[in-house]
Amino acid sequence: MRKILLAGAAACALALAGCSGSGNTGAAANKPTVADADKFLADAESQLGDMYEYASHTAWVNENFITYDTDWLNSRASSEVTQLGVKLAVESEKFKGLDLPQDEQRKIMKLRTASVMPSPSGDKKVADELATITTRMQSEYGAGKFTVDGKALNLEELSNIVGESRDPAKLKQVWEGWRTVSPPMKADYARMVEIGNQGAQELGFKNIADMWLSTYDMPPDQMEQTVEKLWTQVQPLYTELHCYVRTRLNQKYGDAVQPKTGPIRADLLGNMWAQDWSNIYPLVAPRASDPGYDLTSILKAKGYDAMKMVKTGEGFYTSLGFDPLPKTFWERSLITRPRDREVVCHASAWDIDNVDDIRIKMCTQVNAEDFQTVHHELGHNFYQRAYDKQDILFRDGANDGFHEAIGDFIALSVTPEYLKQLGLISKVPGPDADIGLLMNRALEKVAFLPFGLRIDKWRWQVFRGQTTPDQYNDAWWALAKQYQGIVPPGPRPADAFDPGAKFHIAANTPYLRYFLSYILQFQFQKAACEQAGWTGPLHRCSIYGNKEVGAKFKTMLEMGASKPWPDALEAFTGTREIDGTAMVDYFAPLMTYLKQQNEGQSCGW
């Protein structure tokens, strides 16, 4: 993921991560002019740019050294960011209705929608409270542990058990154990929503949900309709995958653990949140589809360490014509988990100064999953670098889904052909392995789709008051059953706050971006492979080393957020509409296979 520094603070485009200052507009008191707007925006961007590093460094230190003092410092920086972000947004309202150039209209909208969780303006006490709450929730998450067999385990260690164990009792213990971290967050979360809605209403939005949905260059209700259209396009593929996996889990565990019909037990899917099912591939792998290699084993046998993993990811981007990462990237990134302190280990990419101080923070392990994650995280960094000549408010992705899609699009090129080019394998598997390769990827990509939708659907209901604090957990699992077709392994405690056991809830990071990115990355893949003249199956296409495709790709990245996202999409793909059919086309051979395997089954839940 791309690091959003302003959970509870402003995210002025990507750059919003840190700001402080007076925000004096210089606008005329009665009838502001275009010249006043020019001066206001120049002054606002100057403040945002000048103070960016302050809050970025503070957040970086806090996540890398979780202590009372770094929590305090990050809370203070976050409060200052929030106050300035809201102040600038409120002041920008005076220019509403003024006939401004298009780029300035975009900047005004960026200011109004920049704060992920705004506090009411002019109330420092409430702003400080909001900052304290958001920092506390994130730190509680980062320091969370649960004791298994007498040993206190962190999330990374607990996730390894969920990914590797096939003992349903152990899976249930660990799955439920991690969720003991989040109940203390519930009151904080409810208070944060209360404050944030007050701030959003002051900015002219009905609530935080409408504010978040207003960042997509269309009215909120239209964006919600777009999302539902995309889900409708890909839902049949997910339903068939769910049906197939449920059958295999029933064969593995029996009716008492996983029934033949209905929802799937969430802890059996190989991931702490059932958002990625690839860890259970060995249980569901199609017969006679072994590609003939195990990437994790190969990486270890070839002597890969965390640094070589990242160097390999960098090499993909430079093969497309991008400049190598700066020396400071290697000096300042956190690439492995430190042994002497608690850190927020969730993989993230950072742009510290909005220019060239780009970094990743990742507790990298030598395995196939992190090999792809490295390619994804570096996509954020190369995107950040590509648009660093834009104005401050345009130093961001065309929309937040773009930022997530870029790295995942590149990771789609981590194909057997690419692995052979790297010398990791000596022979590319034949066509008989395709269903296995597609199944493995579908367990990651297709399985994620309803989860990516569910996270923000839950928050939209909370922000709009449709779900009250006493309903938080029930609503969370109602949506899980509706969209994912999953249920918890047992009854949940009365005080459970299971949403908070997911990083993006605790850190208040909007999640629709991930759903959109999983659609966009396949559009990018299809367009890039057509540009490369690829005529084989789409899932076998790798653009590694293709500088012509890289040049067109870079053109889109350099636009940043300076134009509406359909303009950026068109620059690379030739179309202005986000569309799920490219993903459906990518998995078409698998869909045929799944329907054959599911014949006679009662699919759905």
Lowest mean pLDDT among 2-16, 297-311, 460-474, 580-594: 2-16
- Say if residue 54's pLDDT is above 70: yes
What is the sign of the dihedral through the CA atoms of 428, 434, 439 and 445? positive
- Known catalytic residues are 346-347, 376-377, 380, 404, 504, 514
Q: How confident is the model at residue 11 (pLDDT cuts 50, 70, 90)?
A: very low
- The model carries a pTM of 0.86
pLDDT tens per residue, range 165-212: 999 999 999 999 999 999 999 999 999 999 999 999 988 899 999 999
Q: Rounded CA gap, 31 and 95, in Å?
A: 9
Q: In 34-150, at which residue ranges do the beta strands (DSSP E only) sit?
A: 145-148
- What integer pLDDT is reported at residue 24 of this predicted model? 38
- Say if residue 5's pLDDT is above 80: no
Question: Could you give phi then psi for residue 108, rounded to 5 degrees?
Answer: -60, -45
Residue 115, both tokens = 């704060």
- What integer pLDDT is reported at residue 85 of this predicted model? 81
Q: To which residue do tokens 């510290």 refer? A: 352
- Say if residue 458's pLDDT is above 50: yes
Domain ranges for the chain, please list them: 15-144+181-215
Tell me what the pLDDT averaged over the chain comes to: 91
- What integer pLDDT is reported at residue 290 of this predicted model? 78
Q: What is the mean pLDDT of residues 391-420?
A: 92
Percentage with pLDDT > 90 across the chain:
76
Q: How many H helices and E strands in the chain?
A: 24, 6
Taking Cα atoms as reference points, which of 269, 247, 289 lies closest to residue 438?
Answer: 289
Lowest mean pLDDT among 230-239, 341-350, 393-402, 411-420: 341-350
pLDDT tens per residue, range 219-278: 999 999 999 999 999 999 999 999 999 999 999 999 999 999 999 999 999 999 999 999
- Say if residue 343's pLDDT is above 90: no
* Higher-scoring residue by pLDDT: 167, 123: 167
- What integer pLDDT is reported at residue 367 of this predicted model? 92
* Residue 518 host element (H or E): helix 512-531
pLDDT tens per residue, range 476-531: 999 999 999 999 999 999 999 999 999 999 999 999 999 999 999 999 999 999 99
Q: What is the DSSP letter of 34?
A: H
Percentage with pLDDT > 70 across the chain:
95
* Higher-scoring residue by pLDDT: 433, 324: 324
Are the beta carbons of 349 and 359 closer than 8 angstroms? yes
Q: Rounded CA gap, 472 and 467, in Å?
A: 6
pLDDT tens per residue, range 212-236: 999 999 999 999 999 999 999 999 9
Are the beta carbons of 436 and 289 closer than 8 angstroms? yes
Q: What share of the chain is helix, strand, coil (3-state, %, to 5)?
A: 60, 5, 35
Q: Alpha helix (H) ranges present in 387-511?
A: 400-411, 416-421, 434-463, 472-479, 503-506
- What integer pLDDT is reported at residue 145 of this predicted model? 95
Are the beta carbons of 204 and 558 closer than 8 angstroms? no
Q: Rounded CA gap, 405 and 411, in Å?
A: 10
pLDDT tens per residue, range 297-342: 999 999 999 999 999 999 999 999 999 999 999 999 999 888 888 8
